[in-house]
Structure 1
Amino acid sequence: MQTLKEEIKDRILAAALSEFEQYGYAQSSMRRIASSAGITTGNIYRYFKNKDDLFHAVLEPTYVQFIKYTMDIKKAIDGTNTIDAFETLNCIQLVDDTIVELLKESSIEIKILLTLSQGSAYEQAKQDLIEIVAQILEKVMLIAKDIPALHDPKDPLSIQMFATTLIEGICIILRDYEDGSTIKYLVDEQLYVFGEGFAKKLNR
């Protein structure tokens, strides 16, 4: 009996993953998920209290890994004391490596997390990543300019714009492409061009 229950739960999770990828959190339906899993709508609530609970079950492992990786990036940059402006690309590459590694482990989940979680408890994930990237870029700028704090009021605006544009670009790639090698190629290309541009800005 326990094996049967686990098999049904796994079917629900698989159906939910497909539903959330197709419709996003806000437009997903517990009725459709139950139908895809081959059970009644009432039966799905024996396994998950509501859509929030099911969404959490689908995304929580990926979210935990996502937070760990992004905090590892921040720690790596925080531990840096010297950097040449044209080594900025190496710092940006850490973001690339993180996204690619997450895609290897859970491509659909990271796509949902960053592009389809509006209205859920995870909707801040994309903004959290933007803020971490902004902190990285600020740290790189401070080190490259050898200053303790940013003085030009335009610099924080530029940093926020760069960080937002970078992550929004990655989200568009995740939204529009499914093939892993294509996604990696496009993310690599975007981060390369971005890193070169940011390095030139630092070297003005």
Structure 2
Amino acid sequence: MRLSSLLSGLCAATLALAAPRTAQIYVQPILTSTSSPVPLAEVAYDPFSPDVAQIVTYEHPELPAESSLVRVGLYETKSATWLAGTTVASTENFAKGYSPNILLTVDRIGGNVISAAVKGVAIDAGQTRDFGPKAIVVVESMGKQPELNKPIVLSPEGKKVEEVEKTFLQKYWYLLAIGAFLLISGGGGGS
């Protein structure tokens, strides 16, 4: 009975982690006057297969002409707070001739959104027919660990212990022992 409940609990946890998630991305013009964030896109993603991320809904933002910068990120309307890391982008990313790419950075363990960004990519009508916005998901990964040298040895007083370099005889005594053994045992010739 306990084994079956343990297995069913593990399966439920696996399904909960593997379920696709959605993130509601907001955009807010940065002006001298206060303006509230407006929905930009809803992105469906799976942190375990980031290549299948897709835009569920997208609303082209109506930005004031005097604004040149926008804030992009996850926003909770009930508490009026930004939930994850926000980025600042130029309003030119939403201009004609550009297709917005929405970049989500997600946690590798929980799959939670860490940051959201927008980058406008120039559209070349002769090359492609896919002009719509795209979603890109980047899963954080461990950085390269430093390769450290030999640790410094300290004396009980806290001073650096000077290591004495070994002499030739201390380093290669075994070669001299092998050579002596070969000289002693090498020999007998018959007459």
Q: TM-score range by the shorter chain?
A: under 0.3
Structure having the higher Rg: 2
Q: Scaled by the length of structure 1, what TM-score is found?
A: 0.25
Q: Which has the higher strand share?
A: 2
Flag the structure with more relative contact order, 1 or 2, with Cα contacts below 8 A and sequence separation at least 6.
1
Q: Which has the higher helix share?
A: 1
